[in-house]
């Protein structure tokens, strides 16, 4: 089974062009769609999930025309939306059973069996009698996968499932997600590159509705291998350092800034060769650090908007300075 997205564009009524000629072919396995906030991920996920229409373009799932035959898509779709609300006063087993009925599992014995299987699978069987309102963020998201798996879907879409989870919950969630079979298509949309690095075998990077890159994470790392360098930089020197070098990412460790820099050769004193990580690649693509015609953008001429990188509490954040949102 393949999901083929061709030239999909969407401009909202307020003039925001959320998708700009998106073409992607997605096979079975875990596919990561990564991009900063506002890059069009949810718009694309909702469009594939038949919840909204694009202006132009086509989407095909196997032999099904997704935009025309919505019912056929919905029968094989499992969807965990970005804003997944749960009824706080109902317990997990009751809600999942209710959702299973809606999904067409009307035989009581079969339904009990399915519900138990899914709750065990996502590690919530022991918590099945607890009200959903008492669940942690991670437990809610794992419940979200359980409901997305109802009816053995062939296409599973999870939109920003790890946002707001603490590291332990996030790991648990990703582990459960990656246990979903290799024979189905799973699309994980996220702004966290490490999610993709951890569980995805294929990925695309999207910014401002435009696909900047598509390929296997391993190939992405190979593309920058030998060109990433690491240096610990003291705070007073940071400004000059940013001016002088193509800084990909910065991380705070014990109060010191460790910068990763892109360069064909060792950029100077005190630099060590760094193992490239997917975040380095991501920021190379997002941020036009180039000038070497290699990194960043990938879109000829660009659109005149700049990407800057801010560091907060050791987290690397891309801030789009161009779009005023």
Per CB under 6 A, residues contacting ligand ADP are 12, 14, 16, 18, 35, 37-43, 325
Find which of ligand ADP, Mg ion, none residue 18 binds, CB within 5 to 8 Å per kind.
ligand ADP
Give the H/E segment covering residue 155. strand 155-159
Question: Least separation, in Å, of the C-beta of 216 and Mg ion?
Answer: 24
Exposed, middle or buried by CB within 10 Å (0-12, 13-18, 19+), for 24? buried
Residue number with CB closer to Mg ion (42 or 307): 42
121: helix, strand or coil = helix
Residues 160-195 as b or e (16 or more Cβ within 10 Å = b): bbbeebeeebbebbbebbbebeeebbbbbbbbbbbb
In the complex with ligand ADP, the residue whose CB is nearer, 41 or 227, is 41
The contacts of residue 15 (CB under 8 Å, 6+ apart) are: none
In 218-239, which positions are buried (b, 16+ CB within 10 angstroms) versus exposed (e)?
eebbebbeebbbbbebeeeeee
CB of 33: closest distance to ligand ADP in angstroms? 9
Distance in Å, CB of 158 to Mg ion, minimum: 11
Among the residues of the chain, which ranges form H helices? 41-48, 70-75, 92-102, 108-121, 137-148, 167-178, 193-199, 217-224, 238-244, 278-286
Residue 41 CB, nearest approach to ligand ADP (Å): 3
Residue 175 binding: pick among ligand ADP, Mg ion, none (C-beta 5-8 Å cut-off by kind): none
In the list Mg ion, ligand ADP, none, the entry touching 12 (Cβ below 5 to 8 angstroms by class) is: ligand ADP
What mask of x and - would describe binding to Mg ion in positions 17 to 56, judged by CB under 5 A? ------------------------xx--------------
81 binds, among Mg ion, ligand ADP, none (CB under 5 to 8 A by kind): none
Q: Which is nearer to ligand ADP, 19 or 284 (CB)?
A: 19
The two beta strands, 185-190 and 202-207, are unpaired
DSSP letter for each residue of 177-196: HHTS-TTSEEEEEES-HHHH
Phi/psi for 218 (5° steps) reads -60, -40
Residue 103 touches which member of ligand ADP, Mg ion, none, C-beta under 5-8 Å by kind: none
How far apart (Å, rounded) are the C-alpha atoms in residues 155 and 185? 5
Nearer to ligand ADP, 224 or 286 (CB): 286
Sign of the dihedral through C-alpha 151, 48, 173, 177? positive
One symbol per residue from 54 to 93: x for binding Mg ion (CB under 5 A), - otherwise; what is it?
----------------------------x-----------
238's contact among Mg ion, ligand ADP, none, with CB below 5 to 8 A by partner kind, is none
Q: Name the residue nearer to ligand ADP (CB basis): 39 or 279.
A: 39
Instruction: Compute the distance between CA of residue 139 and CA of residue 124 in angstroms, rounded to an integer.
Output: 7
In the bound state with ligand ADP, the residue whose beta carbon lies nearer, of 18 and 92, is: 18
Q: Which is nearer to ligand ADP, 39 or 250 (CB)?
A: 39
CB of 1 to ligand ADP, least distance (A): 25
Q: Closer CB to ligand ADP, residue 37 or residue 294?
A: 37
Site for Mg ion, rule CB under 5 A: 41-42, 82
């Amino acid at each position: 089974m393949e999901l083929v997205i061709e030239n999909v564009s969407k401009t909202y009524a307020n003039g925001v062009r959320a998708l700009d000629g998106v073409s992607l072919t997605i096979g079975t396995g875990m596919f990561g769609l990564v991009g900063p906030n506002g890059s069009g991920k949810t718009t694309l996920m909702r469009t594939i999930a038949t919840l909204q229409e694009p202006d132009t373009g086509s989407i095909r799932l196997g032999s099904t025309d997704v935009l025309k035959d919505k019912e056929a898509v919905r029968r094989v779709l499992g969807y965990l939306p970005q804003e997944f609300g749960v009824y706080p006063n109902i317990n997990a087993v009751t809600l999942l059973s209710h959702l299973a009925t809606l999904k067409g599992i009307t035989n009581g014995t079969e339904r009990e069996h399915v519900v138990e299987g899914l709750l065990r699978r996502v590690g919530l069987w022991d918590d099945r009698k607890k009200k959903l309102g008492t669940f942690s963020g991670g437990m809610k998201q794992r419940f979200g996968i359980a409901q997305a798996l109802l009816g053995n879907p062939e296409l599973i879409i999870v939109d920003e499932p790890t946002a707001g989870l603490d590291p332990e919950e996030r790991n648990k969630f990703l582990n459960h997600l990656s246990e979903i079979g290799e024979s189905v298509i799973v699309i994980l949309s996220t702004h966290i590159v490490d999610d993709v690095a951890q569980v995805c075998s294929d990925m695309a990077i999207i910014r401002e509705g435009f696909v900047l890159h598509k390929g296997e994470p391993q190939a992405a790392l190979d593309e920058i291998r030998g060109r990433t360098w690491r240096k610990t930089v003291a705070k007073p020197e940071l400004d000059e350092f940013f001016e002088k070098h193509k800084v990909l990412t910065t991380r705070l460790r014990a109060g010191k800034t460790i910068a990763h820099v892109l360069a064909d050769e060792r950029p100077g004193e005190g630099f060590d060769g760094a193992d490239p990580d997917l975040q380095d690649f991501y920021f190379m693509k997002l941020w036009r650090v180039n000038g070497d015609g290699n990194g960043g953008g990938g879109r000829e001429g660009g659109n005149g908007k700049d990407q800057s990188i801010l560091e907060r509490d050791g987290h690397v954040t891309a801030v789009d300075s161009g779009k005023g949102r």
